[in-house]
Structure 1
């Protein structure tokens, strides 16, 4: 969303100046905005209309209803789409491509094995959770889940009696928190672009939030599990994965294990995607010799360090042109992508890298379009003048709008089931008030992300993947996923509120 100063300097953005639309009462603007959002939710949930089409229709209705006219409504929608693509289009593409290549190289499985060896099984929920929530967030969520879940499931018995409960909860919390708080998670990139938050700043603030959120949330859920919240007999169901686990064991003849096709297409896909976790020890050792783990992740870590360094230079107002250039997010992630391609090509071959890139392009397409139409709705909301109206309501407080955007994102997520969609929509609705009341947009982005985590349930594909791949019953998944991620949502907003008093 565009700050007031930027809107004033660029008339093409149609940011809701009084002469851009026919005068309308504040109540009418609020009612029409509510109707547009509720209509989009109804189209998605009740009539199963694609979210992209639903958001565009809502934007068209809102523009026409508040008096922008046909021409200005269309310009606002297309301008909002184009503006956010300028900000984050390449960033999302580069991040997803890096993740796809790392996935193909087997780096994720090896990292989890290294964490287990280094920190031991009892600390595994925390170490694996932090790894997934931070350094692995360049990877598309479902891909990361399918690859890491079989390892988490097999390592769960090493933790003890509550191993399945703790690992499932850690996985759910880390996956969902990482995607909205941690750069280059796709939702965090979208929120940063939507609210014009410098990516380096989003990276620093996101890390400050995601690390304590993951640790505290896992600790709270572990406390509840140890006091009877988990019932192994009713909350665990290993039927789906029992045969797969036995098939994944190393064969007695020393050959690599394979998972045969099954009638269940979803199971077959998950099993085949996760198959590297069950390969032979010989294969794992050979991969380690060919490509050290630190070498595989070095390009990604380098790009994140460059972004962080650029942000620090900006905050401290230090002039270092060469580092500022390398710290520009697009340049930093491009360096990371090129480095990842070169490193993994030596490890797995050019053909595998090309296959990974093809998958990455396929995965990034839907994310880019959804992010873009989220920007269209946000631009239309701004053009309707909602920022001035809400700015007056919240002029005496910076806490209230954070709670409101959290609540809106939470309600949208319960209805729609999409973390990214609910976060983008909620942030877009309240983005206009940030400059009006002096609220740092990064706090609004984090609050929208936190709210979008509330109540991950049966409308979410992630819920069913965690339920099936980690050996849980639906009842168990409602505890580990729905309750666990909701706890993280509340913990996050409780951490964000004091941050708003400091920054």
Structure 2
């Protein structure tokens, strides 16, 4: 079959999947499988070879990342159940102060908290961000909303064990330790620079509190946990202004928290202890990657640094520590929730691998390899653009990143392009223009007290800025590595 025919049929398969998802509301899993079947038959693989390629592609990526995704989601679900996320945000506020809160909370969400399923992390952290926003002062809602949006979306595609980063690493055969190191090198400056740019725009009149904020949806929830009438009486005597946080109020907050935990039969464990197993697993993965890069032989550390072993250690440790804090029954409840959450992620990741395998079997890699053989920059820009277009149409960061990376994965060996750069570029492109087709957009809009107009600024523009910043940082990296 001619090169033009292969390119045309590949484009038809991808566009058909997008149309099925967007226009006809077909589930993304079904749409991707249909696209894979069409492509295999259209390029002449035959029925048997097409089915074999689809199932093999699904199985191969599950072998690489299936357990990793499951372990990561389970760890996050347990941490969520323990209340560790809420306590971490309060600790960040007390340690770094309100002015730096958007940056510190953004970096925490974009890095260490990425073991938590995106929607769960968003639902847990958004009310905290909303209530802390007034302490920043003017533009507090705008700054916290954009910091949350940027950190959540960047973390899921760049930071191990974010589910999209795990899927991209498995799809492109990137060692997980390498993905961890390169992802951290990218996600930290991307979050900081993007929040700084958006803060600059907000201060120059990009945000209108009267039109861009709408707290109607969350007004009642924000009153929950506030002092009752008797407790609020002293404050009312001072003109009704909310008390500022000082050392006394911090002590009162901690005492109240401890009493509440005692009533539920829980113990308030040190925050570092609750996160220690997760941090240990990430350190082990990083150590394994360093040993591999330096070609140092340390069998015991190489074993512990294997991503599956490291995350298993983290999961076991998290379950044991949390069981002592909140009890066995609540840990089991968290694990049940985690299994439900990981199921849809695993299936979507698997069918993304099926499409990538079918594209490779069709010979697209050889064709595109000839087009881009003279440059490593061009394919990075192409994969970024493809992921961006897919995300605008489909509204799924993970799906658009996996699909774009799968289309260009076959060319990486042909042109000497490090697959980790392709993974990062696909992730960066998939961040572009988070808008009304994304459930994350609506969660951020409603949970952070924004109008739709405000969410279009803080979420759509904010994450798009992060997408552009990321690819501008990736391009110089391609010249160095």
**In the aligned structure 1, how far is the partner of 2:279 from the partner of 2:42?**
47
CA contact (8 A) 2:391 2:400 kept: yes
CA spacing shift, 1:205–1:277, aligned 2, 3 Å: farther
**In the aligned structure 2, how far is the partner of 1:50 from the partner of 1:370?**
10
Name the SS of the counterpart of 1:397 in structure 2.
Answer: coil
CA spacing shift, 1:128–1:272, aligned 2, 3 Å: closer
Q: Shift of the alpha carbon at 1:396?
A: 0.1
Name the SS of the counterpart of 2:433 in structure 1.
Answer: coil
**In the aligned structure 1, how far is the partner of 2:10 from the partner of 2:417?**
22
Name the SS of the counterpart of 2:241 in structure 1.
Answer: helix
Q: Shift of the alpha carbon at 1:281?
A: 7.2
CA contact (8 A) 2:172 2:409 kept: yes
Q: Shift of the alpha carbon at 1:284?
A: 9.3
CA spacing shift, 1:431–1:256, aligned 2, 3 Å: farther
Q: Shift of the alpha carbon at 1:287?
A: 9.6
Which residue, out of 78, 83, 87, partners 2:55?
78
**In the aligned structure 2, how far is the partner of 1:349 from the partner of 1:319?**
41
Name the SS of the counterpart of 2:161 in structure 1.
Answer: coil
CA contact (8 A) 1:413 1:454 kept: yes
Name the SS of the counterpart of 1:254 in structure 2.
Answer: helix
Name the residue aligned to 2:9: 32
Q: Per-residue displacement from partner, 1:343-388 (whole Å, max 9, x unpaired)?
A: 0000000000000000000000000000000000000000000000
Q: Shift of the alpha carbon at 1:243?
A: 1.3
CA spacing shift, 1:288–1:164, aligned 2, 3 Å: farther
CA spacing shift, 1:228–1:287, aligned 2, 3 Å: farther
Q: Which runs of 5+ in 1 are unaligned?
A: 1-23
Q: Per-residue displacement from partner, 1:96-134 (whole Å, max 9, x unpaired)?
A: 000000000000000000000000000000000000000
CA spacing shift, 1:256–1:453, aligned 2, 3 Å: farther
Q: Shift of the alpha carbon at 1:269?
A: 30
CA contact (8 A) 1:88 1:193 kept: yes
Q: Shift of the alpha carbon at 1:247?
A: 2.4
Q: Per-residue displacement from partner, 1:283-324 (whole Å, max 9, x unpaired)?
A: 499999631100000000000000000000000000000000
Q: Shift of the alpha carbon at 1:262?
A: 29
**In the aligned structure 2, how far is the partner of 1:348 from the partner of 1:464?**
32
User: 2:414 matched to 1:436?
Assistant: yes
Q: Per-residue displacement from partner, 1:50-94 (whole Å, max 9, x unpaired)?
A: 100100010000001001111110100000000000000000000
**In the aligned structure 2, how far is the partner of 1:137 from the partner of 1:287?**
28
Which residue, out of 453, 456, 462, partners 1:478?
456
**In the aligned structure 2, how far is the partner of 1:82 from the partner of 1:106?**
36
CA contact (8 A) 1:304 1:332 kept: yes
Q: Per-residue displacement from partner, 1:172-225 (whole Å, max 9, x unpaired)?
A: 000000000000000000000000000000000000000000000000000000
Name the residue aligned to 2:97: 120
Name the SS of the counterpart of 1:132 in structure 2.
Answer: helix
Which residue, out of 344, 351, 361, partners 2:339?
361
CA contact (8 A) 2:266 2:326 kept: no
Q: Shift of the alpha carbon at 1:436?
A: 0.2
CA spacing shift, 1:372–1:296, aligned 2, 3 Å: same
User: 2:158 matched to 1:158?
Assistant: no
CA spacing shift, 1:135–1:228, aligned 2, 3 Å: same
Q: Per-residue displacement from partner, 1:371-411 (whole Å, max 9, x unpaired)?
A: 00000000000000000000000000000000000000000
CA spacing shift, 1:140–1:263, aligned 2, 3 Å: farther
Name the SS of the counterpart of 1:289 in structure 2.
Answer: coil
CA contact (8 A) 1:109 1:277 kept: no
Q: Per-residue displacement from partner, 1:10-61 (whole Å, max 9, x unpaired)?
A: xxxxxxxxxxxxxx10000000000000000000000111100100010000
CA contact (8 A) 1:147 1:274 kept: no
CA spacing shift, 1:276–1:424, aligned 2, 3 Å: farther
CA spacing shift, 1:65–1:344, aligned 2, 3 Å: same
CA spacing shift, 1:159–1:432, aligned 2, 3 Å: same
Name the SS of the counterpart of 1:255 in structure 2.
Answer: helix
Q: Shift of the alpha carbon at 1:156?
A: 0.3
Q: Shift of the alpha carbon at 1:242?
A: 1.1
CA spacing shift, 1:107–1:352, aligned 2, 3 Å: same
CA spacing shift, 1:95–1:237, aligned 2, 3 Å: same
TM-score scaled by structure 2?
A: 0.93
**In the aligned structure 2, how far is the partner of 1:219 from the partner of 1:340?**
34
Name the residue aligned to 2:172: 195
CA spacing shift, 1:256–1:177, aligned 2, 3 Å: farther
Q: Which runs of 5+ in 2 are unaligned?
A: 243-248
CA contact (8 A) 2:159 2:165 kept: yes
CA contact (8 A) 2:377 2:478 kept: yes
**In the aligned structure 2, how far is the partner of 1:399 from the partner of 1:276?**
52
CA contact (8 A) 2:261 2:267 kept: no
Q: Per-residue displacement from partner, 1:137-165 (whole Å, max 9, x unpaired)?
A: 00000100100111100100000110000
Name the SS of the counterpart of 1:263 in structure 2.
Answer: helix
Q: Per-residue displacement from partner, 1:244-279 (whole Å, max 9, x unpaired)?
A: 11123x44499999xxx99999xx999999999997
User: 2:69 matched to 1:96?
Assistant: no
**In the aligned structure 1, how far is the partner of 2:456 from the partner of 2:255?**
26
User: 2:118 matched to 1:141?
Assistant: yes
CA contact (8 A) 1:235 1:475 kept: yes
CA contact (8 A) 1:151 1:277 kept: no
RMSD: 4.9
CA spacing shift, 1:501–1:269, aligned 2, 3 Å: farther
Q: Return 269-278 or 182-191, whichever deviates more.
A: 269-278
CA contact (8 A) 1:371 1:424 kept: yes
Name the SS of the counterpart of 1:215 in structure 2.
Answer: helix
**In the aligned structure 2, how far is the partner of 1:493 from the partner of 1:348?**
43
